Structure 1
Amino acid sequence: MLATMDATKQYDSTVRQPAFRLAGWLGALFLTLALTLVPHSPLSAQDKGFGSANFSLGGSTMAFGGNSEDHATVRLVSDKTAVIPGAALRVGVEVELADDWHIYGRESGDVGEPTRVEWDIPEGWTVGDTQFPTPKEDRMELVGETIVSYLYEHEVLLWAEATPPAELTPGAEITFGATIHYMLCKTDGMCLPPASKEVTLTLAVAETAEATEHAERFIGAEPGGTSPVGGPFELQDVADQSLWMALLKGLLAGLILNVMPCVLPVISIKVLTMVRQAGEHPKRIFQLGMAFSTGILVVFLGLAALTAYFGATWGSQFQSRGFLVAMIGVIFVFSMAMFGVWEFGLPGALSNVGAKEEGESLLSSFGLGIMATVLATPCSGPFLGAILAYAMRQPPRIIFAIFASIGVGMALPYMLLSIRPTWVRFLPRPGAWMERFKQIMGFVLLGTAVYLLGILPSDWMLWTVVFCLGLGIASFVWGQMTTLADPRSKHLMVRVIAILIGVFSGWLSFGYFLPATTGQSTTHMLDWEPFSPQRLEQELAEGRTVLIDFTADWCPNCKFNEAFALNTEETKKFVETHGIIPLKADWTDRNEEIRLMLERLDSVSVPLTAIFPADRPTQPIVLRDTFRKSTLLEKLNEAVTTESNSE
């Protein structure tokens, strides 16, 4: 108790003033930013124009992801060849899109940037609402939720009806202008920054006019109306927001994220370390807590940048298979630490950014904050959905303010405990329960990794598990192959070996086996057809050589044969050249016909490959277990050569 009181007194003189200065600085910054933005709220979608997100540097222009004009052609067209005084005229912005590229509708849905058109019509004219054809509805399953977007592909015409005054002089020329604001995205998910394009059209005034080649394309909702999907929706939870309310709800949403299932395992680890730190110097507790909070805020500001300039959405990074694999790997390695395979913390100079204290490091605490925030992105707690929808319709500075408020809300408990470390005493005292709690959290982390594994495509799952096995071995080498008494050189050597094991397992899984079992087999996949005894008899009766692959999804050797012998470029070319019929006998589930055929071939297991030459169908050539491509080609050549010689 006396030690705690002494530490508290020392904290009063060494930490309290910096802590209050930091808290005051954060509060002043947040308040100044909010006050700066108040006059601009609320904003409609039309206020969110920030051009093409180009940056000037030394007279040149750079754009993230390329130039939108490389993938979209925009021009202004009309339904008549001339302007007739007093007669309505339809003008439209025509957008032609390159293959695999699209723009969004008047409402973009859960992702992207809504498309809008601003008309520049001569004085005295009237113009109706812009008509949007019904867009394509695109649905995608992501982390248990359906992400919906409304988009246009190939080409689209966005038009409005303009009415000229009756007093126009025949022969005069009228120039129309329009500016379209849009975001171009590719089918694979890559998007260019929001862009704007100005187009013009000049028509002469005449007493008569003919229909243009574009006249039939001016279709859609009647002027002044809206289509069920293409028109604007009245979203009360998005529209009826003030900036102050949005910031408050963002703060509450961030606070609630701390108890969401996605992030709870990592937060529990942080709580565990804070309990362990209860007896440490308050200054150290303050530093570690602020490092964790900084990690949270850095991620939220990064997400704000992605949302403001690239149209990213909450949790969209989980659409990336590479990101999912990386997160599974990190979580798995953390679970190994919970089971005591290796100790959490970084050694040497990295451990405490130059400090010599043992225990949690500033860098690891910062990384833990980043990990907690990234894991929180698949979750959407109370207030969060409406706040994010509101933010996506705002200009960048408001997006940054809202995301910052969410980050501050999530970091708030740890900031408070850092500023007042004496509050840690309200947490349970350190004891034997901590080891049990840590082990339980290890299982929770493993459960999180299994959940993320289920999001991956089935052909990625096996190799991700293999990758995690390699990471488990690397963790064991890192944490168990040295002792405190070993020299520093041995520590360094062992950890280099551990890193190399992790890197090698990643290359083996995703640089070797995955391409072999997915990309290569897809490119050179034989035209397999289902096996049946009747089909075999039919093909042999018609004088064709038949290749049968007896396989199963649960058979790793079968997959090896398919990847490195059967579904290869050379094999595919040979089979097609000689008219060989490939049949697949899939024994993944029970199949009596396949079992009986295997028995006839003196086999009770897979893999097995049988070649039935056309000229001697009762003398099949059998390859058992694993084999090389050269062996397969040799046997195939033997089958067709015998056939050729007999002819």
Structure 2
Amino acid sequence: MKRLLMVVLVLLAATVASGPAHALESAPVSSKRAVATLVTETNAMEPGKPFRVGLRLRMADGWHTYWKNPGDAGVPPDLTIEGASQSPIDWPTPRRVAEGPVMTYAYLNEVLLPVTVTAQTGTIKAHAQWLVCKDICVPEESDFSLTLPVGIPSPSAQAGLFAAHDRAVPRTSPWSARIAPDGTLFVQGPELTPATVTDAWFIPDQPEWIQDDAAQPLSVRMGGFTLALKPAKGFDATKDLTGVLSVRDRTGMQTDVVVDAVPGPPPPEAMPPLAQILVFAFLGGLILNLMPCVFPILAMKAVSLAGHAGRGRAHAVAYTAGVLVTFVALAAGLLVARAAGTAAGWGFQFSSPVFVAAMTWLLFAVGLNLSGVFQIGAGLTGAGSGLAGRHGTAGSFFTGLLAVLVATPCTAPFMGVAVAAGLAAPPVVTLLVFAVMGLGLSAPYIAFASMPVLVRLMPRPGRWMEVLKQALAFPMYGAAAWLVWVVSQEAGSAGVLGTAAGLVLIGFAGWVFGATQAASVQPRRFGQAMALVAVLAAGAVLSGIRTVPVGTATEALAEAYSPERLAALRAAGKPVFVNMTAAWCVTCLVNERVAISTDAVRSAFAERNVAYLKGDWTRQDPAITAFLRQNGRDGVPLYVFFPGHGGGAEVLPQILTEGEVLRVLRAS
């Protein structure tokens, strides 16, 4: 009997304890779209002590309601407690929901919107309004009422909803943030590295601060990342930008924090040690000698040593001086162009069809000289000897100048890092990096001229030198023909016509100059005058070459790059291969032929459903420039692979192989 009495007492106590908890959710307000109730976190209240009450919305499949900033459309819910003081709604992190062409910030399935209340009685009356949307939007509202007993609070049956809500509220950010006038958001923290961050996005507190539907390109570096936000009409570059930042790591875990970005430019990226930059610069210049742009020049210099026995070091010094002067001049030009607001990088001068046409004529003239149409000193390596008057060293100087000019369409390993780091450094370091790159370019010739053993290995001077010199004219003609194609990409058919007319005039100038070189004074002066007139006429033609509007044509299977298209493909979870190239970039064209356009790579793209985006930097498109800098480059080529479903991006080598591309695809 005592045992039965104990069971009855326990059941009675459980009923008394559970009754108030179940009663602490209001009667539901239901529609086909949502069910709304008012719930409390505690099962009792103390007069004058705060406790939490929340609007609970359970939405049907496909329906959603909105955050405090609804985005491009929508209205946020509102909850008003009668006869009591209350805090604003404590908003959990929303989801980005695309509704046709607009982006909204919303909640799907179920959400709890709590407020903190301080009341004197346990009777809670509230009025709420909310908008639910699917294919259409329907405003809903209702009055709610529930009664809490006065007593010592303890968790209600709905306390778990509040605990879940607290886990969904964005935390205070441990990271510092800045917002630049152009909308670039920079977030800095030691945990933020390319190895940890795979995706990030920002939701502003207020509408019309940013264009909500615009892509937010992400660039991660050691100790931080940038999001390229697109400012809207309400954006104020002089005020803080606040909102919710979501960061996803490699495990797929999402961290939501509240950020308060202060106005100011992003701090400079941490630079590699100067010694490392200089080593990379030297190696990049050294390997540049093996590129198709430079190798013919180096071959001519090596051959010339056989004809300058005993004077090789003087020619090496002159050649190196020409290389260094031209590299430093290029660095200074880059710095001036950037100071003027131009998006300039390695090879920037080749984005001008006027420069490309002039280079075409110069290489064609070099070819004519090597072919024997006219003579300046002892060929290319002796160019300018009549001015210098001593052993043709001026010719070696101008050969060094020419070697650098024709080298700029090529990119060698290590150069990308060195150029990007150099341009991000103070001007003095920039000039030093480019000078060391010049030393790397001239190093083989210096070594060859400084070692008599190597010179003695060369065949004795003879007829073979003249034959080889004439043979070396054909790489010059080939380079000129390629540059004509570059002009066609930049200036269209009219540019090609102007360049071809200039070639005729330069050809005539070389012929008449050479035909009268051995004549007496009067005929020689007449020939020089006619050559000068032809060159001036070519200059007049050059001034008429103009850049034509950029076309949108791309090769088969490739789409034109845009930040919006890249963001859309990544949001859809597709793997993306990005190729940044230019018509004047020889390295880019070779890589495309041997490593990207092969049947094996194209088949791998198709099998893995890889989207192929190709960006043409021939005319230095600002959007492509921004992408290059986001990935630590200041020139092309650049190859970046983005795995599907938010994987981390991988930057591929600048000298690309088919095997390297296939490896990256198979590892994704």
Kindly name which structure, 1 or 2, has the bigger radius of gyration based on alpha carbons.
Answer: 2
Shorter-chain TM-score category? 0.3 to 0.5
Higher relative contact order structure (alpha carbons within 8 Å, sequence separation ≥ 6): 1
TM-score by length of 1: 0.43
User: What is the TM-score when the length of structure 2 is the normalising length?
Assistant: 0.42
Pick the structure with more strand per residue: 2
Report which of the two has the higher share of helix. 1
